[in-house]
């Protein structure tokens, strides 16, 4: 026999489910306006009218009060938003994940009175769970007939372009019955690089195979130490003229400089949809990009020429990049890669024999992939793999899988990243253990 407590609990559960059950879901689109403030005021106006008609004239007083509230609530926000012009300026051209950047909002108010309740809304690469997360800044008031400047700091949590979507200036003051908005003019956008982690060491120069057009010795160039002199040729800069030798020989003589040929590195980044797991900033996809960015910055600091190839995207979206000009161009390229899931092709990408041979001849090669990647099949043993274990990057994995136990003696050319929480330290320790002999 049930106790009184059990009966009471059962009754409460039944009542709770009854009151929270959607009896007529088909009517939701027709009744959605009742969930907004304007719906409440309209209902109150109709109720006041019925009171005035059926009970007494006091109802008409309430009705006109609610109508006035509606008129003010509609007109005031619209007039306020039309009376201002605004622009958004960022002080920096580039930043990286997790690093603060300064945003400056300039607002010109052509209205003679204060404007209250303005908010800046949009996607600024923050984590967005609901609509409230779109509000990035709130302004208490903007003085009348003035130009005001507001500053705040933003911390992007994802790579990409800041702002990610066109931002808006929004107000619902004074009653929040409607919300009026105006697009913000963005003077300059900020490219947000993937977060990179400092590494120590570099591969030995002797480990590289130089291509047919590369030499290991010093060669003539336009920078570096002075290598000698020669006669002036058409196209030479007068800044390079050796005036002492020119006066001595009675003809123009220019200085010739020496520059060191760069070691070449080929980095292959697997971005195929079937190779990755997880979602958001802690997915294996994003960590593969962060890992590549860290390696690129480390190798660039030691004057390596980097050739980056992103595979696994559709042929129309094949991606190649290098740091031949600046490392910033290569990091911009990584920052603007599409998000995980943008291309959902499940086609298996496997290297052809000619590709594998070309990678072996290209110099030192890194393969950044996951343990689900088909690119590992038959890859040359000289290729160094940075392998990401997908199990702990998959938030939906059930039951949770513990870190893999890997015998590094059987995988001397591989680095392993086990989980989002340890990926940075795994990369640092693995890189240092393999390349600590040169710093």
Please report the pLDDT score of residue 135 as a whole number: 83
Q: Tell me, rounded to whole angstroms, the distance of Cα 118 from its chain centroid.
A: 27
165, two tokens = 């979507």
Tell me: the pLDDT tens digits for 125-150?
877 666 666 888 889 899 999 999 99
Please report the pLDDT score of residue 10 as a whole number: 82
d(CA 373, CA 376): 6
Query: Which secondary-structure segment (H or E) carries 190?
Result: strand 190-193
Q: What is the mean pLDDT of residues 163-175?
A: 91
Please report the pLDDT score of residue 262 as a whole number: 59
H helices within 231-283, ranges in order? 243-249
Tell me: the pLDDT tens digits for 202-232?
887 644 444 434 444 444 444 455 667 888 8
Please report the pLDDT score of residue 301 as a whole number: 85
Query: Which secondary-structure segment (H or E) carries 153?
Result: strand 146-154
Is 186's pLDDT higher than 90? yes
d(CA 10, CA 2): 10
Q: Where are the domain boundaries for CATH 3.40.50.410 in the chain? A: 264-435
Residue 44, Cβ neighbours under 10 Å: how many? 16
Beta carbons of 144 and 111 less than 8 angstroms apart: yes
d(CA 307, CA 302): 15
125, two tokens = 């690469």
Q: What is the mean pLDDT of residues 71-84?
A: 94
Confidence band of 348 (pLDDT split at 50, 70, 90): low
Tell me: the pLDDT tens digits for 396-437?
444 444 445 444 444 556 889 988 889 999 999 999 888 865
Dmax over CA atoms of the chain, in Å, equals 120
Q: Which residues is 84 bridged to in the sheet?
A: 109
Confidence band of 364 (pLDDT split at 50, 70, 90): confident
> Taking the alpha carbons of 270, 272, 277, 279 in that order, is the dihedral positive or negative?
positive
Report residue 162: phi and psi, to 5°: -110, 120
Q: Where are the domain boundaries for CATH 2.60.40.10 in the chain? A: 83-193
Which of 56-65, 275-284, 399-408 ranks highest by mean pLDDT?
56-65
d(CA 268, CA 295): 12
Q: What is the mean pLDDT of residues 69-97?
A: 93
d(CA 334, CA 308): 10
d(CA 439, CA 436): 7
Q: Could you tell me what percentage of the chain is helix, strand and coil, using 3-state DSSP and rounding each to the nearest 5?
A: 35, 25, 40
Report residue 278: phi and psi, to 5°: 90, 180
Residues 6+ positions from 280 with CB-CB distance below 8 Å? 127, 286
Q: What is the mean pLDDT of residues 384-394?
A: 85
Average pLDDT over all residues of the chain: 80
d(CA 84, CA 106): 10
Q: Report in angstroms the alpha-carbon separations of 411 from 194, 385, 406, 430.
A: 28, 9, 8, 12
Burial class (CB in 10 A: 0-12, 13-18, 19+), 427: buried
Is 311's pLDDT higher than 50? yes
* Superfamily of structural domain 83-193: Immunoglobulins (2.60.40.10)
Please report the pLDDT score of residue 261 as a whole number: 53
191 or 223, higher pLDDT = 191
301, two tokens = 């600091």
Please report the pLDDT score of residue 211 as a whole number: 43
Residue 178, Cβ neighbours under 10 Å: how many? 17
Is this prediction's pTM over 0.85?
A: no
Which of 151-165, 302-316, 364-378 ranks highest by mean pLDDT?
151-165
Please report the pLDDT score of residue 238 as a whole number: 78
Q: Which of 270-284, 295-309, 320-334, 388-402 has the lowest mean pLDDT?
A: 388-402
Q: What is the mean pLDDT of residues 307-320?
A: 72
Confidence band of 35 (pLDDT split at 50, 70, 90): confident
Omega prior to 24 cis, within 30 of 0: no
Q: What is the DSSP string of 69-98?
A: HHHHHHHHHHHHHHTEEEEEEES-SEEETT
Percent of the chain with pLDDT over 90: 36
Q: Tell me, rounded to whole angstroms, the distance of Cα 129 from its chain centroid.
A: 16
Tell me: the pLDDT tens digits for 226-266?
667 888 876 677 778 888 888 888 888 888 765 555 578 88
Match domain 264-435 to its CATH number in 3.40.50.620, 3.40.50.410, 3.40.50.300, 3.50.50.60.
3.40.50.410
Q: Which of 73-77, 168-172, 253-257 has the lowest mean pLDDT?
A: 253-257
């Amino acid at each position: 026999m049930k106790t009184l407590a059990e009966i009471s609990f059962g009754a409460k559960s039944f009542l709770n489910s009854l009151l929270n059950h959607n009896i007529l879901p088909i009517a939701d689109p027709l009744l959605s306006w009742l969930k907004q403030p304007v719906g409440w005021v309209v209902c109150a106006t109709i109720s006041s009218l019925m009171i005035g008609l059926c009970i007494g004239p006091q109802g008409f007083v309430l009705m006109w009060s609610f109508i006035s509230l509606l008129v003010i609530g509609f007109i005031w926000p619209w007039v306020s938003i039309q009376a201002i012009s605004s622009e958004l300026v960022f002080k920096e051209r580039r930043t990286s994940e997790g690093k603060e950047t300064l945003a400056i909002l300039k607002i010109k108010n052509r209205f003679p009175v204060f404007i209250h309740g303005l908010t800046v809304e949009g996607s600024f690469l923050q984590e967005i769970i609901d609509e409230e997360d779109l509000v990035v800044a709130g302004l208490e008031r903007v003085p009348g007939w003035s130009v005001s400047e507001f500053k705040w700091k933003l911390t992007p949590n994802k790579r990409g372009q800041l702002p990610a979507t066109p931002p808006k200036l929004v107000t619902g003051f004074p009653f929040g019955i409607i919300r009026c908005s105006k697009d913000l003019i963005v003077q300059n956008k900020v490219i947000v690089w993937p977060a990179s982690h400092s590494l120590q060491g570099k591969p030995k120069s002797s480990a590289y195979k130089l291509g047919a057009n590369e030499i290991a010795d010093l060669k003539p160039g336009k920078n570096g130490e002075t290598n000698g002199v020669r006669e002036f040729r058409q196209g030479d800069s007068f800044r390079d003229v050796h005036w002492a030798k020119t006066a001595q020989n009675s003809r123009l003589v220019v200085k010739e400089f020496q520059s060191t040929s760069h070691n070449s590195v080929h980095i292959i980044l697997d971005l195929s949809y079937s190779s990755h797991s997880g979602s958001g900033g802690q997915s294996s996809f994003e960590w593969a990009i962060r890992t590549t960015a860290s390696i690129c910055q480390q190798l660039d600091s030691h004057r390596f020429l980097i050739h980056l190839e992103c595979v696994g995207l559709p042929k129309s979206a094949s991606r190649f990049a290098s740091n031949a000009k600046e490392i910033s161009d290569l990091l911009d390229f990584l920052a603007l890669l599409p998000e995980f899931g943008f291309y959902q092709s499940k086609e298996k990408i496997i290297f052809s024999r000619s590709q594998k041979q070309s990678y072996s001849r290209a110099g030192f090669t890194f393969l950044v992939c996951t343990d689900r990647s088909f690119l590992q099949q038959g890859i040359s043993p000289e290729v160094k793999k940075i392998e990401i274990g997908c199990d702990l990057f998959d938030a939906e994995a059930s039951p949770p899988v513990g870190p893999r136990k890997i015998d590094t003696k059987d995988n001397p050319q591989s680095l392993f990243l086990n989980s989002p929480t340890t990926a940075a330290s795994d990369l640092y320790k693995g890189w240092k253990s393999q390349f600590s002999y040169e710093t």
